[in-house]
Chain A
Amino acid sequence: GAVVSQHPSWVICKSGTSVKIECRSLDFQATTMFWYRQFPKQSLMLMATSNEGSKATYEQGVEKDKFLINHASLTLSTLTVTSAHPEDSSFYICSARPRVRTYNEQFFGPGTRLTVL
């Protein structure tokens, strides 16, 4: 099946620093990638949708200057949390939709646990 990887799987950083999270589709090309955030015991909240080669579309309430998304190729999207603060600590999950598909499916990465001290 389709595999999506995320790197790093976990990261601890100091407040005020920036953190980059990579999302890669390993065995398929993804025209669209999604970034989600999950708070403890809560559901996945869509943060933004990125299409290869164009600007990301952010959900209401998500600061685009704080959560920078780049989708430079059909297999890679990055999320950069700029000037991270403790309230940004969360589990960030990406997903990718294959370019060739018959269903409206998304394949999820394993997630990245961000802890901001």
Chain B
Amino acid sequence: DQQVKQNSPSLSVQEGRISILNCDYTNSMFDYFLWYKKYPAEGPTFLISISSIKDKNEDGRFTVFLNKSAKHLSLHIVPSQPGDSAVYFCAASADHYGQNFVFGPGTRLSVLP
């Protein structure tokens, strides 16, 4: 059973518009969440994180929202750029200082010029 779900395998957005990537989790013990971006044949790159004590974290064009009651988080990219086209992974951890992250299956974002 997947503990971290990204139900949209792919998403296409026009350049300049907002991209919203969603992630749901089932384990209520998760308290730290990260988003990674991955280009083909490369390792994931850390994008942004959020702790369960917050409901929003913003870094430039990237904002992550956390809804603990719904066990849902989302990544907003505004404005979307063609260079944002990649696979985005949501990851969750039950221990802020711990070892293990559980990754979602990823969402492939295509930003169309």
Q: Which residues of B contact A41 (CB under 8 A)?
A: 9
User: Bound complex: CA of A111 vs CA of B43, how far in Å?
Assistant: 5
Given contact pairs A103-B49, A106-B46, A46 touches B101 in the complex (Cβ within 8 A): yes
Residues B43 and A42 in contact, CB atoms below 8 Å apart = no
> Cα distance A44–B97 when bound, in Å?
20
Does A49 count as interface, using CB distance less than 8 angstroms?
yes
- Asked whether A93 and B43 contact (CB < 8 A) given A43-B106, A44-B89, the answer is yes
Q: Is the CB of A108 within 8 A of B44?
A: yes
Cβ-defined contact, A105 with B105, below 8 A: no
Interface membership of B7, Cβ < 8 A: no
Given A42-B105, A44-B103, A104:B96 Cβ within 8 A: yes
A74 at interface by CB-CB < 8 Å: no
Return chain B residues, CB-CB under 8 Å to A94: 43
Give chain A interface residues in 2-22, CB to chain B under 8 Å.
4, 6, 9
Check B52 for interface membership: any CB of A closer than 8 A: no
Contacts of A9 in B (CB 8 A): 41
Q: Is the interface of B mostly helix, strand, loop or mixed?
A: loop
Residue B65, interface by CB 8 Å: no
Contacts of A93 in B (CB 8 A): 43-44
B97 cross-chain contacts in A, Cβ below 8 A: 104
Cβ-defined contact, B45 with A108, below 8 A: yes
In the bound complex, CA of A106 to CA of B43 (Å): 11
Q: 17 A-B Cβ contacts within 8 A?
A: A4-B43, A9-B41, A32-B99, A41-B9, A44-B103, A45-B103, A46-B100, A46-B101, A57-B99, A93-B44, A104-B32, A104-B49, A104-B93, A104-B96, A104-B98, A106-B101, A108-B44
